[in-house]
Amino acid sequence: MARAAILGAGFIGDFYAYSINGRRGRDSVGVIWSRSAERAEAFAAKHGIPRWTTSMHDAISDPDVDVVIIGLPNNMHLEAVRIAASEGKNVFCTKPLGRNAAEAFEMLRLVEKAGVIHGYLEDLVYPPKTMKALQAVRSGAIGQVTWTRSRETHPGPHSAWFWTKEVSGGGVLLDMGCHCIEIARNYIGKDIKPAAVMCWADTLVKPIDAEDNALGWVKYENGAIGQFEVSWTFRGGMDLRDEVMGTEGTVWINNFLRTGFEMFSAGGKGGYVAEKAESEKGWLFPVGDEAAELGYIDMFADMFGSLERGVLPAETFYDGYIVNEITDACYRSARSGKWEPVELKVWRGREKTERISIVHDYDDEHILVKEETLPDGRVKKILKNRKTGEISELSL
Ligand SMILES: NC(=O)c1ccc[n+]([C@@H]2O[C@H](COP(=O)([O-])OP(=O)(O)OC[C@H]3O[C@@H](n4cnc5c(N)ncnc54)[C@H](O)[C@@H]3O)[C@@H](O)[C@H]2O)c1
């Protein structure tokens, strides 16, 4: 049984408090911090939290608090981690870990020096569908992963600070790209080194300094590619989709806009439908349990379970740091128009990974390139001669 202090009574604080306190679980939120006494008090009443405060230091140093959960604007993550580490408190921080890799690296250094448990709250590697897919991929169900595609698009975030580059650290590339990048790392293998990136980012629609659309490719040392597509100007709700291509199979996941729950409402009196839904009339795509389908429930099960066992969870500040280094490289590439190397100050995965390679033996002389049944029933085999390299075909 652990007690948490949540810092920030906003959008993500609400999801976190609901996921921890709303489920009759073992762990609970003991204190909420907000700048405003009214918001802190209302938040505490809504989620059944016994204490609220407007002093961040008091929330963190509260003797009843085992772990600090950071749900603050991006420019405040480092300071909150600094205080938590100096108080020797375990700490879970939302995404992105830092506004850039330098901030994230400092946060990693602080928690490791303090010897506390740290968790990176990347919920989108914990949705039940994703966890099942990851288990299948890791047990070899789709062979070697060659390519992943992750799409995170919606009509734009809900608070002013996201749109202010100095506060947020960047636009949609940082805000949503961080999810896609960590999803790809999980499928490709977190121990495979990200080598280089190519990225396009532009401000197509909104009157802001940061980018509101971005596309990118993260090339891993074994040749695998993690493609991401992110937008703050997508119309029609929140579109979260992942695809994984392996040498022996495929995974397609639709996390949000099409979950198998469709509803028509002529009157539109239902109010809230789902995060970033743009209408409450007509055909709607509600989400039954957003906290579960977005991964928050399983994420906190891993975070608090790890805390109880005194071990690190599946997603740590180290992962958050790697993601920040990749997004920093993406910003460099968007400026240069070239592939840019990912520069890591610390790497704890495999060194020198072999390239993906699959050889299907056919006979002593040949390797099988491909086999296909044609419309007339013949089975055609494309073969490669091992010695000469010649490609030939065989119809059976
Ligand atoms: N899927 C996810 O994991 C996910 C989703 C949304 C947001 N987030 C992250 O959570 C963090 C907070 O985002 P949010 O959506 O809750 O934002 P929000 O604007 O809804 O809430 C931020 C909260 O921080 C506090 N705050 C303190 N100082 C502030 C300041 N100067 N300006 C504004 N708020 C201030 C307030 O309590 C406010 O309610 C960000 O790092 C964001 O990237 C993560």
DSSP string for 15-37: HHHHHHHTTT-S-EEEEEE-SSH
Q: What are the structural domains, with CATH classification, of the chain?
A: 3-95 (3.40.50.720), 125-290+316-341 (3.30.360.10), 360-395 (no CATH)
Q: What is the structure's pLDDT at 260?
A: 86
Rounded to the nearest angstrom, the distance between the alpha carbon of 76 and the centre of ligand 1 is 10
Say if CB 231 and CB 172 are below 8 A apart. yes
Q: What is the structure's pLDDT at 279?
A: 87
- Sheet of strand 90-94, all strands in order from the earlier edge strand to the far edge: 51-53, 28-33, 3-7, 67-70, 90-94, 118-121
Q: What is the structure's pLDDT at 272?
A: 83
Q: Which band of pLDDT confidence, cut at 50, 70 and 90, is reported for residue 396?
A: confident
Residue 181 CB less than 6 A away from ligand 1: no
Tell which wins on pLDDT, 216 or 273.
216
Q: Whose CA is nearest to atom 1 of ligand 1?
A: 123
Q: What is the structure's pLDDT at 293?
A: 94
- The pTM of this model reads 0.96
Tell me what the mean pLDDT of segment 260-270 comes to: 86
Three-class SS state of 127: coil
DSSP conformation class of 76 = G
Say if CB 307 and CB 166 are below 8 A apart. no
Tell me what the mean pLDDT of segment 33-61 comes to: 98
Crossing angle of helices 101-114 and 77-86, in 10° steps, is 10
- Which segment of 16-20, 285-289, 324-328 scores lowest on mean pLDDT? 285-289
- In angstroms, how far apart are the furthest CA atoms of the chain? 78
Bridge partners of residue 91, in order along the sequence:
68, 118
Tell me what the mean pLDDT of segment 224-235 comes to: 98
- Please give the mean pLDDT across all residues of the chain: 96
Tell me what the mean pLDDT of segment 242-248 comes to: 97
Pocket probe mutation, ligand 1, options 7, 54, 72, max atoms within 8 Å of Cβ: 72
152: its two tokens: 């995170």
Residue 290 CB less than 6 A away from ligand 1: no
